[in-house]
Structure 1
C-alpha cells in the first residue's frame, strides 16, 4: 500500500478512470470501511471535519467470550469543537493495556492471531499524540496485512470547497476522478452537483459477509475487521473483497435524467 500522500498532482485536470471514496479515519475500522477502501483507487481520509463522539472515530467493537465489547480511546476535553486531525488522545488511564489484554484474551487461541497481533501491539506501544495518527496507523496496518494497494490522500492537503456535497465533488475533481463510491443512501448529497461535473455516483452496496466466530453460535456482525483477521486467513478476506468488486455498478439515475 502506498504511504500517506502529503499532496496530489494539483496540475491534473483531465478526468481518468479513477474511483474515489472519502471517509473519516475510524478506529479499528469495521469490514464495511475496508470494503469501501478496497473498491477504490484513491481513499481520501476526511481529516479536516469536526470530530463526532457519536461516530466511530475513537471506538469500535470486538467479540469476547462474554459477548461484544466496545474498545474506546479517551480523548481530551471538548473534542466536538475541533477537527479530527486536532483531537488529542488522553493517557490519564491505561487504556492501551486494557485494549491489548482484551484483544489478547479474546483471540489468543484463534488460528491467525499472532502475525497480526504483533503488528497491532507495535502500534499500541507508540505514543501517539493525536487520535488521527493512531487511526491512520491502524488503517495502514490492516491494508498492508491484506496487501491492499489503494492510494491514500488527506483531505486537508487538497484545499477543497465547502458545503457537504460541493466538497466531495471538488475533491473528486482535484483527483481527476470519474467515479465516487458512497456508502448507505445518497440522501445527504445533491446528486445533480456530481452529474453536472460528469462524475458517476456508485453505491457501495455493502452486504455484510459471515464467517465462523470463536465466541458465538449466531453470527455477530458490525465488529472491527480484526475479528475476521484473527480467525481466518488474509486470502479468504481478500477473495471476498475481490468478488465484491465485480458487483459495482453506476447509479441507475443518469446524468441526462437529472440535469436539465
Structure 2
C-alpha cells in the first residue's frame, strides 16, 4: 500500500462516501474494498489520516471497510483547538454517554443496524468491528447484533470519570458474555501499560465481566510512537492509540504486531478455512 503523508489532511478519495440510513438516522459512511465487512470506528477527534491508514490496511487484507463519520471533520489533521472542540461537543451530544452509570451510548443502536446492513451487502459469515478510544467499547455493545463476530476494543476510554469501570451496563455485559459462550467467540483488546485514559482497572473489569472470552493485550509504553499529531500532543500526553497515532510502522515493532494480530483475528472469524 502506497504511503500517504500523515501530517496532511487525507482526501479519502479511495473510499466511497455513502449516505446510509439506519434506525431512522442518516450518516456518512466511507466504504472501500471487497470481502466480508469490517466496521472501523474512529477515535477522537475523528477520521484522521492515521485512522484512514488503518482502514486501508484492513481493506488490503481482503475486507470491505465501513468507516462511519461519527464526529469531527473527515480526513482532517485536527489542530489542538479544533480537536478539543470536537471532543467537547461529543461529550454533550445525545448520541454519546461519557460518564459512569449512564449506560451504553445510544449511537450503538445505529452501529448495530449498520452491521446488519453491511453484512447483507457483503455476505460472508458475519462482520468485524473495531472501536478506538472514545468508541472503544462500541464494538462490545455491537455484539448484541448477531452479525457481529469479531469485536476489537482498542484502548476503550469510556467512562471518562471512572478508570475501573466499563461503559456497558451489567445487563448488557451479561448478554454479551452469554453470546460469547454460546457462539464460542472472543473479544480482543489492546492498551499501553501507562495509558491514563485506559488503565489496568478497566481491563480487569472486562475480565471479571467476560471471563476468558476477553483477551487483553498490554503493550509497553516504550513501543509508542512519540511523533504524534497536534491534538494528541496537547490532550493525549500518554501512550494511547495502539493502531493509529502511536503505531510505529516498522518491522519488529509491537504496535505493528498488534495490527497484524487484529487483521488475523478478522480473517479467522470472517474468512474461516
- TM-score, structure 2 as length reference: 0.33
Higher relative contact order (CA 8 A, sep 6+): 1
More strand by percentage: 2
- TM-score, structure 1 as length reference: 0.35
Larger radius of gyration: 1
